[in-house]
Amino acid sequence: MREWLIHLPKPAKRAIVVACDLALLTAALALAFVFRLDRLPLPQSSSEWLTVALAPTLAIVGLRFAGVYRLVVRDMGGDGLRRILLGLGGGAIAWGAICFTFSLAFVSVVFVPRSVFFGFLILGFVLLAGIRTLAYLYFTDRQIDWQSLLTLEVAPQRRKTALIVGYELSTPKIARQLALQGRYRIAGIIHDDPTMEHRKVDGYKIYGTGEIDRILSRGDVDDVFLLASKFTAPRRLELFQEIGAHDVEVKQLPTFSDIESGRVNVSDLRPVDVMQLLGREPVPPLEDLLDGAVRDRAVLITGAGGSIGSELARMTAGLGPRKLVLVETSETALYAIQQELAALGEAVEAGLREARTGRDGTAYETDLSRARGQFPEVVGVLASVVQPGELDAVFEAHEIDVVYHAAAYKHVPIVEGNMAAGVRNNSFGTLRLAQASCRAGVGQFIMISTDKAVRPTNIMGASKRLAEMFLKAIARDPATQTRFAMVRFGNVLGSSGSVVPLFHRQIAAGGPITVTHPEITRYFMSIPEAVQLVIQSGAMSEQGALYVLDMGEPVRIVELARAMINLAGLTERSDAHPDGDIEIAFVGLRPGEKLYEELLIDGASTATRHPRIRRQEEPATPMERLTPLVAELEAAVAVGGTDDEVKRLMRRLVADYRPAETEDEKGLVIPFRRAAPSA
């Protein structure tokens, strides 16, 4: 019954409330007569019947104008009670004025004693407030805020003043609903359209983003509600830096439907998290791409215990594959993802949607409905992609149809210090896995690549670029039956190498936060969004295709660090502010590290069916041209060749690999320019 009432349409809910109030007000009028006359007199004429009918009718009108019916019944407090009293008072006064002033005066003097007007007001208030209190108890599990109720007349609770930053069509409605809940006065709405400045929308003043500092400097704003979806990630960080300079709390602005339905109360609003600052509004997936990606197929995932690999395992498990084979070199990581998939399997059997929080702190749902009540067989394999014999046995045993290759050494400084191991795993591991896939007749092979493969300045990026070259060379061979594709993207939030968890640890330790360079920028994307786009890229892939994910705008890491300091309720310590809490220390670029990352080599890309997936057009080098140097490089890395030897051979294979040879060369790359994608 409760859930049915909660999910009724808004007009139906309002009709039920008005009908209930009308009945209670009629009862209040009857009780007022009984208390005054010790009996219930029945009207004897049409004039007396009209007099009786006017009382609850005018009270309902008064309640409507007092805004009672715009309030959420399940969120009653002192403000709601004041509105009920105001509405009933207005209705009772209007009733008395009509009765004693106009044509009903004679009837009213005889039929309605003056004390009945006051009795009706008091009893009506008690009944309407009481039924709403009962509704509160019925629809929520919270304790009644008696302090808020008892301060109705004694000491009304001071309303906070809030500024809304970000505008969409529903924003004035959200502002009105927040104000009606009684705890906030809305100081205005910040709009990013200059033509809207100094206008009023539904009674709320509109300001430009340039006026944020002036408004907050007045000191009368307590909270700022940020509509994060209206700004790019870099702009969100800039806004948060500007807002964070003032003594206000920044909170996430809920949707209008969440507030109106009662799913979110003002007391439930939460401070903004760094993931909301960096993240962006997800684009709904193309259902046919997801549904047909792996259904009824045997899927193999390498690096299945890592950030990307484990999310691939979770998502593909809910898409109805026949079998899921997880390849991982770490026993601990393999055990963890197998246990998690076992729990997901139970949820699928029960037909549930699994709601959870990812490693990056993002709350989201895994839609298990596509599994159609069946969960795949999950097989864990402790193996390395650099062992072709082990891979052949895995492919033969499980009849693999689709391969997602996520295994790689990704940490730039570590790979730079272990060049032979990095090339052996990232480049030749990919080559051996691809060759094993061809021998086994695998239908599709999708490799996870990186933006560091574009004009690489480090071995990690160069080794991934060489892996891309291997796959392109194999794909252009007419004898190749396996369909190869690569998906290139930047940093994902919450991965093992992400700066976000590092900064969290450094802030918890009291600082300093270490940033390599004041101008260093990076792309960011949530793990679930990246993996969903990878799966859709694979579903529409063509032979040898290289797909690039739209990562949005790059973010300056120092601005991210400052935002995280402010989110923790702390301040930056600097020469200008020596009394701050956390210092930001610039430690210099690490070996092979770029100031800027790029996703496109020459800007030549074409659109695909998905708005955030583009196809990058890059030439393929025939394998016969690669083979002599590849053989020499493979021999060098097999015996742990020197760094100089590995770099020399990699420079001959990857034409635009430019390692930093001196301290002055570190970070010197072509300045970042966002290329306009070609049609």
CA distances from 279 to 52, 311, 662 (A): 59, 17, 36
Given this model, what pLDDT does residue 155 score? 40
Query: What average pLDDT is seen over the chain?
Result: 79
Indicate if the pLDDT at residue 166 is higher than 90: no
Q: What percent of the chain has pLDDT over 90?
A: 22
pLDDT tens-digit profile of 640-668?
A: 778 889 999 999 999 889 886 544 444 43
State the Cα–Cα distance between residues 352 and 365, nearest whole angstrom.
10
Average pLDDT value for residue range 469-480 = 93
Cis peptide before 11 (omega within 30 of 0): no
Indicate if the pLDDT at residue 459 is higher than 50: yes
- Burial degree of 307 (CB within 10 A; 0-12, 13-18, 19+): buried
What contacts 278, CB < 8 A, 6 or more positions away? 233, 236, 237, 493, 500, 524, 555, 560
State the Cα–Cα distance between residues 112 and 99, nearest whole angstrom.
9
Highest average pLDDT, of 38-42, 358-362, 601-605, comes from: 38-42
Highest average pLDDT, of 235-239, 441-445, 523-527, comes from: 441-445
For residue 243, give the nearest of 518, 567, 522, 561 by alpha carbon: 567
State the Cα–Cα distance between residues 366 and 344, nearest whole angstrom.
9
Q: Show contacts of 431-435: CB within 8 Å, 24+ apart.
A: 431/467, 431/470, 432/385, 432/386, 432/387, 432/388, 432/391, 433/302, 433/385, 433/391, 433/403, 433/405, 434/470, 434/471, 434/474, 434/482, 434/484, 435/388, 435/474
Given this model, what pLDDT does residue 3 score? 58
What contacts 505, CB < 8 A, 6 or more positions away? none
Sheet holding 513-515, edge to edge: 513-515, 582-586, 572-573
Given this model, what pLDDT does residue 400 score? 95
Indicate if the pLDDT at residue 550 is higher than 90: no
Q: What element of type H or E holds 18?
A: helix 10-37
Average pLDDT value for residue range 65-71 = 74
Indicate if the pLDDT at residue 479 is higher than 60: yes
Indicate if the pLDDT at residue 354 is higher than 50: no
